[in-house]
């Protein structure tokens, strides 16, 4: 047995949120990995929380937690009972959702359904990642989808990957899109009533560069801050404004959290009737779902509410995210779509057929 120490890079707050690396030397071996508890953002470790996952590909739905995890006084030890297979092994604090996967899924969806219209937005500026690596000029991805009609529709915005470390948000958006393009009666109802604008990765350089809540352009500022002058957020918000004429009925931003608890949505006003209706519709699929009031002025969902006059604006979080499987992350996206469809059936929204 060989012990390897994992030393996560600390962010600008002097803490570590997540980490990821790969190596090809462990084929046929069962190494033990030690991760220091010090300076961890979420502490103490939750009773059921998993702190390390592995896979044979970065873009993979088969990420698995290690068979064994022991939380000691200063270190967390993880290891498997069986040897790793040969080849490159990827290890990370959460199953990865790389920018390349967002780009791959974007082209898959665009080619899958003729109703999808790509939105030309632009790209980031090539820049230093702050650790000696370069982050290329990555494209800003966006598209619209709706059913053809001759009547007035409401607008909906759907986004993910605002915080790069919250990879379950990417799987949730993918689950939402898989459901939306699945041609069920519920999905077609949503497409009858809404013009839906999807931005699958709104922090591409933060995701590519391995950041947690931030991005290499402004390392000291949370990327969720819509007024901080990020090139990507400036371009995405301009695109959202142009596409929707500055008015939306629904805004969904998929996130996740390792904090223990239920699935939740951060909203500006948890008592507002339409948000309560969404909560109740979602609880049909996940009885633990709850709303949490959050008046942080820089939340993207708060910006949608204030500037785009969104009636329903949700920052959807999957708490205990490291305990859930990738399939469960995707279900979070599906449940979001189905809850909206149920609200349509209950006449919660205006306009449409």
User: What pLDDT does residue 45 have?
Assistant: 86
User: What pLDDT does residue 111 have?
Assistant: 97
Per-residue pLDDT of the chain (353 residues; tens, 9 = 90+): 678 999 988 877 788 888 999 999 999 999 999 999 888 888 788 888 999 999 999 999 999 999 999 999 999 999 999 999 999 999 999 999 999 999 999 999 999 999 999 999 999 999 999 889 999 999 999 999 999 988 899 999 999 999 999 999 999 999 999 999 999 999 999 999 999 999 999 999 999 999 999 999 999 899 998 888 999 999 999 999 999 999 999 999 999 988 888 889 999 889 999 999 999 999 999 999 999 999 888 899 999 999 999 999 999 999 999 999 999 999 999 999 999 999 999 999 988 77
Domain boundaries, the chain: 1-96, 99-345
Mean pLDDT across the chain, nearest whole number? 94
User: What pLDDT does residue 113 have?
Assistant: 97
User: What pLDDT does residue 351 have?
Assistant: 83
Instruction: Return the structure tokens found at 302.
Output: 């708060």
Q: How far is CA 201 from CA 139, 169, 211, 249, in A?
A: 10, 10, 14, 21
User: What pLDDT does residue 331 have?
Assistant: 97
pTM tops 0.85, yes or no: yes
Tell me if residue 114 falls in helix, strand or coil.
coil
Q: Distance (Å, rounded) from C-alpha 322 to C-alpha 177? A: 22
For 106-193, list the strands marked E by DSSP: 117-118, 127-128, 134-135, 143-145, 154-160
For the chain, list the strands marked E by DSSP: 3-6, 20-23, 32-36, 53-55, 64-65, 68-71, 75-79, 89-92, 117-118, 127-128, 134-135, 143-145, 154-160, 194-199, 250-254, 263-267, 290-293, 312-318
Q: Distance (Å, rounded) from C-alpha 207 to C-alpha 64? A: 21
Phi-psi region of 285 (alpha: psi -120 to 50; beta: other; left: phi over 0): alpha
* Whether the bond into 55 is cis, omega within 30 of 0: no
Residue with tokens 């069986």: 82
How is domain 1-96 classified at the CATH fold level? Immunoglobulin-like (2.60.40)
CATH number of 99-345, picked from 1.10.260.40, 3.40.630.10, 3.40.190.10, 3.20.20.70: 3.40.630.10
User: What pLDDT does residue 118 have?
Assistant: 98
């Amino acid at each position: 047995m060989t012990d390897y120490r994992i030393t996560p890079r600390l962010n600008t707050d002097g803490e570590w949120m997540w980490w990821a690396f790969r190596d090809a030397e462990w084929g046929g071996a069962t190494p033990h990995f030690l991760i220091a508890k010090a300076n961890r953002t979420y502490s103490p470790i939750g009773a059921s929380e998993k702190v390390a996952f592995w896979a044979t590909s970065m873009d993979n739905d088969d990420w698995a937690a290690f068979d064994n995890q022991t939380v000691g006084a200063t270190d967390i030890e993880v290891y498997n009972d069986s040897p790793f297979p040969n080849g490159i092994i990827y290890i990370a604090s959460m199953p990865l959702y790389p920018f390349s996967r967002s780009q791959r899924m974007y082209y898959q969806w665009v080619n899958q359904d003729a109703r999808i219209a790509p939105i030309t937005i632009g790209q980031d500026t090539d820049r230093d990642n702050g650790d000696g690596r370069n982050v290329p000029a990555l494209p800003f991805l966006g598209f619209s989808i709706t059913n053809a009609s001759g009547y007035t529709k409401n607008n909906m915005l759907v986004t993910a990957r605002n915080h790069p470390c919250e990879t379950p948000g990417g799987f949730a958006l993918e689950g939402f899109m898989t459901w939306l393009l699945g041609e069920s009666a519920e999905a077609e109802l949503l497409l009858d009533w809404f013009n839906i604008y999807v931005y699958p990765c709104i922090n591409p350089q933060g995701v590519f560069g391995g950041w947690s809540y931030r991005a290499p352009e402004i390392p000291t500022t949370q990327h969720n801050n819509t007024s901080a002058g990020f090139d990507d957020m400036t371009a995405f918000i301009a695109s959202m404004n142009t596409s929707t004429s500055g008015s939306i009925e629904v805004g969904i931003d998929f996130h996740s959290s390792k904090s223990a608890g239920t699935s939740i949505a951060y909203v500006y006003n948890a008592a507002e009737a339409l948000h309560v209706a969404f909560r109740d519709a979602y609880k049909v699929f996940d009885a633990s779902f709850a709303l949490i009031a959050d008046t942080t002025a820089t939340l993207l969902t708060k910006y949608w509410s204030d500037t785009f006059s969104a009636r329903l604006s949700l920052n959807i979080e999957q708490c205990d995210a490291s305990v859930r499987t990738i399939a469960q992350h995707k279900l979070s996206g599906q449940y979001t779509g189905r809850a909206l469809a149920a609200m349509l059936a209950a006449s919660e929204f205006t306009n449409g057929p």
